[in-house]
Structure 1
Amino acid sequence: MSKHTQVKPQSQGFMHDQRKRRIVADIATYVLLTVLGVIWLLPIVWIFLESFNKNTAPYQDTFFPTEYSLDSYISLFTETKVLNFPRMFMNTFIIAVFVCIISVFFVLSVAYCMSRMRFRGRRSFMNFVLILGMFPGIMSVVAIYFILKAMGLTSDGMTILALILVYSAGTGAGFYVMKGYMDTIPTSLDEAAMLDGCTRWQVFTKIIIPMCRPMIVYQAIVGFLTPWLDFVMAKVIARTQENYTASLGLWLMLDKEYINSWFGRFAAAAVLISIPIAILFIVMQRFYQESMSGAVKG
């Protein structure tokens, strides 16, 4: 009996210490996450409020604006003689939409071939693409420019087409993630469909694509964001403001020639550029959730 009376208080003390440690760890975790959240949100809140700042100068006495107005947004779309941001925004949107569609088709096609077909040189091709992907894309900028120049795609009227080709051409090489997902789909589904008379194209469109919706959502987001946020390739290919993308327009607004009068419009343009990205994530997240719920039910 004495042993039991001694062990019980010790176990209670141990559990009490464990509970205290857990509470302290939870508090420390929440405090750390709160601090990180504030650090992450502070620049976003600042640039959003700065876009409504009545004082458009880049250097001010206060961190947050003291007076607010819509002048930066209005002048961004009305004063287009110096910097035509609406045209740059539309150029970027056209390029991003086409690249998004083309990249999804390319990645799906290459991933399906690598996952479902067996042919000579398949393994060597996959290893070559894997090694090639380890090198930064900026190494090929000069070569890409001279190739486009030789094809006559660097002139003013062909810049948008050239950017679409450049962003889309290499997307098929990013098939590894999609292929890994397709490898999880049983090949017995393909075999059963082909026994019922389906062709490979019907298997691809009727079975593989519907089951790959989560990865299609991922690839669509990546394909849209790549040209939307790129600066280096657009700077090399686009030679005049008529063919500039939104990132080049933002870069020009911070140039020493324009920064004093365009800083407020720079903040407004940064907010406007983030809107399509936010809409894309919201829409694609809904499709992703629907596809995942359908996969679980199936």
Structure 2
Amino acid sequence: MKLGKKTQERLYLAFCYTIILIGVIAVLYPTVWIVGSALNPNNSLFSSRIIPEGASLDNFRELLTHDEYPYLRWYWNTLKIASLNAIFSVVLTAGCAYAFSKFKFWGRKYGMITFLVIQMFPALMALVAIYVVLNMLGLLNTHTGLLLVYVGGAVPFSTWLLKGYFDTIPNSLSESALIDGASSFRIFWSIMLPLAKPMLAVVAMFQFVNPFNDFILANIILTSPSQRTLAVGLFNMVSNQFANDWTLFSAGAVLAGIPMMILFLSLQKYFVHGLSGAVKG
């Protein structure tokens, strides 16, 4: 039996809503579950209810005042590294991407190919080399050493993103500004950067989130407890078989997500436009 056009449209719409609903549940359930675990007064991740009986904020209070776990110190370390990583990555890659996009020079093509090839190799392959170099420079167990690794790894990927966006900006704008007597730096600062705000926001968000998510590099480079980031610190809270503070871990994970949520909500108006511009480029 052949279905009518309206029936087909309704079935298609119902199918789309079903897929969206499944996706929303898949994303929200782990979040609600970890929040429920943080509110659990017992030292267990499992409960018969999503929001456990006797839910309280005791885990958050204990986490912020715990003698063994300097959580606030880890929080500050991560915020500092994430903020500096976002700032330096945006500054370096904006100039680099603009040069690759708008200027003609020898090695331009091979430079972009090199950046692309570098992205094909995961950072873990260079882990030993990174450790040796930082040890030679005396930067092991320092935030400076970890920040250099993050920023260096961000340049190739972010440059490709920003170059694609700069390519969508008409050259006629810079040519008109040159005729009016504007310098190359003035064109870059006053015209190109304001137009590239959506993609700059995307790059900043990616690089801000990275130190919150990274565990392996931070765990190898930072060895003392006071220097740790949140990912390493939270792991050490549950790695001891004699003291698995799972509910404290959950509370710490919930608090760790707050800066990223605030930044995402603040910059969300730029994301769709920025990523669509990079795809077009």
Mark yes or no: TM-score above 0.5: yes
Residues 144-293 of structure 1 mapped to structure 2, 5 A cutoff: 144-155=130-141, 159-174=142-157, 175-257=159-241, 259-260=243-244, 262-286=245-269
> 1:63 and 1:207 mapped to 2: Cα distance?
51
Change (3 A) 1:288 1:35: closer
Shift of 1:202: 0.6
1:135 aligned partner: 121
- Secondary structure of 1:150's counterpart equals helix
- Secondary structure of 1:201's counterpart equals helix
Whichever residue aligns with residue 214 of structure 2, its letter is D
2:279 aligned partner: none
Change (3 A) 1:200 1:254: same
> 1:70 and 1:250 mapped to 2: Cα distance?
18
- Worse-matched range after superposition: 250-259 or 181-190: 250-259
Change (3 A) 1:100 1:258: farther
Alpha-carbon deviations, 1:158-195, whole Å to 9, x = none? Answer: x1111111111232222112111111111121122122
Shift of 1:28: 3.0
Residues 40-189 of structure 1 mapped to structure 2, 5 A cutoff: 40-58=27-45, 64-79=51-66, 81-155=67-141, 159-174=142-157, 175-189=159-173
Q: Is the 8 A contact 1:213 1:288 kept in 2?
A: no
User: How many residues align structurally?
Assistant: 274
TM superposition score normalised by structure 1: 0.85
Identity of aligned residues (%): 32
2:278 aligned partner: none
Shift of 1:30: 2.2
Change (3 A) 1:120 1:18: same
- Worse-matched range after superposition: 206-215 or 23-32: 23-32
- Worse-matched range after superposition: 84-93 or 37-46: 37-46
2:21 aligned partner: 34
Change (3 A) 1:124 1:289: closer
Unaligned runs of at least 5 residues, structure 1: 1-12, 293-298
Shift of 1:222: 0.9
Whichever residue aligns with residue 201 of structure 2, its letter is V
Shift of 1:27: 2.4
Whichever residue aligns with residue 194 of structure 2, its letter is P
Whichever residue aligns with residue 148 of structure 2, its letter is L
Q: Is the 8 A contact 1:100 1:221 kept in 2?
A: yes
> 2:4 and 2:13 mapped to 1: Cα distance?
14
Change (3 A) 1:192 1:25: closer
TM superposition score normalised by structure 2: 0.90
Q: CA RMSD in A?
A: 2.2
- Worse-matched range after superposition: 283-292 or 83-92: 283-292
> 1:130 and 1:192 mapped to 2: Cα distance?
32
> 2:165 and 2:273 mapped to 1: Cα distance?
17
Unaligned runs of at least 5 residues, structure 2: 276-281
1:9 aligned partner: none
Whichever residue aligns with residue 237 of structure 2, its letter is M
Shift of 1:24: 2.6
Higher Rg of the two aligned structures: 1
- Worse-matched range after superposition: 96-105 or 62-71: 62-71
Q: Is the 8 A contact 2:199 2:274 kept in 1?
A: no
